[in-house]
Homo-oligomer: A and B are copies of this chain.
Amino acid sequence: MSQIANSFQEAQKAFLILKQQGSQKRVAFLKEIANQIELLREDLIPVAARESHLPVGRITGELGRTLGQIMLFANLVEEGSWVDAIIDHSDPDRKPAPKPDIRKMLRPLGPVVVFGASNFPLAFSTAGGDTVSALASGCPVLYKAHPAHPETSRMVANAIKAAVTVCGMPEGTFHHIEGGIDTGQELAAHPLAKAVAFTGSFKGGKALFDACNKRETPIPVYAEMGSVNPVFAMEAYLNENLVAAANTYAGSLVLGVGQFCTNPGLIFVPKAHEKAFGNQVVSQLKEVAGAPMLHEGICNTYHQALKELAASDKIEWLLTTEASQVLTGNPSLAKVKASDWLSEDAFQEEVFGPFAIMVVYESIEELEKATVKLKGQLTCTVWGDSTELSTNKDFLNLVEEKCGRLLFSGVPTGVEVGHAMQHGGPFPSTTDSRSTSVGSSAISRFVRPVAFQDMPEELLPEELMEKNPLRILRKVDGVFIR
C-alpha cells in the first residue's frame, strides 16, 4: 500500500472514532493545538519569515491571527449550536398515519484533503483556517504542505501531532504530506477523500475541481482561486474624499507586496477625477520601495503578466516597473478607458502582485455595463456618498451579484476573522459561492445533514438528545429553543 493509501486508511479509522466522541474532546484538542503552536512562537517566526520573505512583523501578526482562528473554532464548537439541530417530535395519534420522531443535525463528511497556500505560511497553511475548521467539524485532515515553506510546515505539523498525543486523539486525525502536484492529485483522487479545500491559483483550483467532479464518487472542492476585487469610486464621493481615498487605495494595493486574494487590482474612477486620482495614487506608490515577493515563480509570473498587458495599445501606464532585483515586486499602475476595458477580457485577469488597472468611466450606465461583464469576485467595494448610493440601488444590486462581500468604506484587504465574514464569491473567485474559507461559517464546508428517525434516545448524538445536555440552540417543532 502506498504511503498515501495508508494515511487514508488511518484517517478513516480516526474518523469513525471521532464521530463517536463528544464534541468537548474536540474543543480541548483545538485549544491544545493553539497552545502547542504558542510554545513554538520564538522558533517559528524567524523560520516562517525566512521561507516566505515576509517581514517578521507581518508573520507575527499572522501568527496571532492563526491562533485567533483556532480559538474561534474552539469556542464555536464549545457553544455547540453550529450543528443546526432540528427536532420534529412524533405524534402517534396523527391521521391518516402516525408521525415519526425525526432529528437532524450536521455531521462530519470524513477525511478532508487540505492544500496549503504560499501567501499565508501560517493562517492558510498547516494549522490554518481550512485545517482547523475541518478538524473542528470532526473530520480528519490530510494536509498537503506548500513547498514554498517546508520547514515552517513541518514545525506546525509537529505541534498538531503533539496536540493529538496530549489529548489522546486517534493517531490518524492529522497527516502531514509533502510532495508535488502528483501527490496533490493522488490525495484528491483517493476514494476515502470526502472533500478538498484549496487556496491558490485558478489553474490549480480548477484542475482539482474538474478532477474531483470526474471521480467515480464526486466530492466537493472548496477552492479559493483569487479575484481582482473591483473598487467603484463614485463622483460625489471623490469630490469630498479624493486624497484620502487614493492614499487608502494605494496602501491596500501594496500591502504584503500585493499578494493577497483581496488585493484591489481594479478600480473604476469617474472621468472628472481621472487625473487627480491617478496622480495621487502614483505619488503614494512611488514612496513604496519594491519588496521581495513570496518566491521566484510568483515574481516571474508578475512581471510576465505586466509585459503581456504592455503589448496592448489601449493601456496607458501611469507607473511602470522593471524587475530591479531578483524576487522584487515593484508597484505598478495602468489606466484604460471603460469602453476599452469592456472590449477586452484580458483586462479582468488577476495579476498577483502590487498592480492595478484604473478604469475611467463616463457614466453610471457604463459602470453598470462593466459590472454585468465582471466575473465573480471575492469582494467588491463601492465608494459613494449617501445620495449617489441611494439613487443607484439598481447598480448596487448588480454589484452584489458579483461578489461574496460588498464593502462601502475602506478596502478589501484585512479580512476580519469573525462570524459574519464571507470569504468566498461567485465563480471563478471560488468553486463554491455557497461557502466561505474565513470566519466561523467555514466549518459548514465539511458537514452534511443526517436525519435520525425514531432513534432510541441512548443512541442519539448528544446534540439531539431530548434533554439537550449541551444546552445548544435547537429548532424544536418549528420553534428555536435552548
Binding site for B on A (CB under 8 A): 16, 19-20, 75, 81, 86-88, 97, 99-100, 102-104, 107, 109-110, 209-210, 213, 217-218, 220, 376, 386, 389-390, 393-394, 396-398, 400-401, 403-410, 414, 416, 418-422, 424, 426-428, 431-434, 436, 441, 447-456, 458-459, 473, 475, 478, 480
Contacts and interface: CB of A to CB of B under 8 A. Distances in A.
Contacts of A473: 480
B393 A459 contact: yes
14 contacts: A16-B397, A16-B398, A75-B478, A81-B480, A88-B418, A100-B407, A100-B410, A100-B416, A209-B213, A389-B456, A406-B455, A408-B454, A409-B454, A473-B480
A17 to B, nearest CB: 9
B16 A407 contact: no
Contact of A220 (B97, B410, B434): B434
A434 to B, nearest CB: 5
A16 B394 contact: yes
A419 B477 CA distance: 8
Contacts of A217: 376, 426-428
Contact of A449 (B99, B418, B422): B422
Nearest to A107: B400
A87 B450 contact: no
Contact of A427 (B75, B218, B432): B218
A88 B419 contact: yes
A110 B100 CA distance: 35
A16 B372 CA distance: 12
A352 to B, nearest CB: 21
Contacts of A390: 458-459
Given A213-B210, A427-B218, A459-B390, A451 B100 contact: no
A99 B19 CA distance: 37
B86 A397 contact: no
A419 B86 contact: yes
Given A210-B213, A400-B450, A102 B421 contact: yes
Given A20-B397, A393-B459, A102 B420 contact: yes
- Rank and list the top 5 A-B pairs by shortest CB-CB distance, nearest first: A422-B451, A102-B420, A88-B420, A407-B453, A405-B451
A116 B129 CA distance: 40
Nearest to A16: B397
Nearest to A403: B450
B405 A453 contact: yes
A407 B452 CA distance: 6
Contacts of A475: 419
A94 to B, nearest CB: 10
* Of A16, A408, A434, most B-chain CB atoms within 10 Å: A434
A410 B376 contact: no
A414 B449 contact: no
A455 B81 CA distance: 28
Contacts of A407: 100, 453-454
Contacts of A99: 416
B104 A420 contact: yes
A16 to B, nearest CB: 6
A451 B406 contact: yes
B100 A450 contact: no
A454 B397 contact: no
B220 A406 contact: no
A453 B410 contact: yes
Most chain B Cβ neighbours within 10 Å, of A218, A410, A424: A218
Contact of A451 (B213, B393, B421): B421
Contacts of A75: 478
A7 to B, nearest CB: 19
Contacts of A88: 416, 418-421
Contacts of A418: 88, 102
A36 B218 CA distance: 41
Which of A19, A99, A451 has the largest number of chain B CB atoms within 10 A?
A451
Contacts of A394: 16
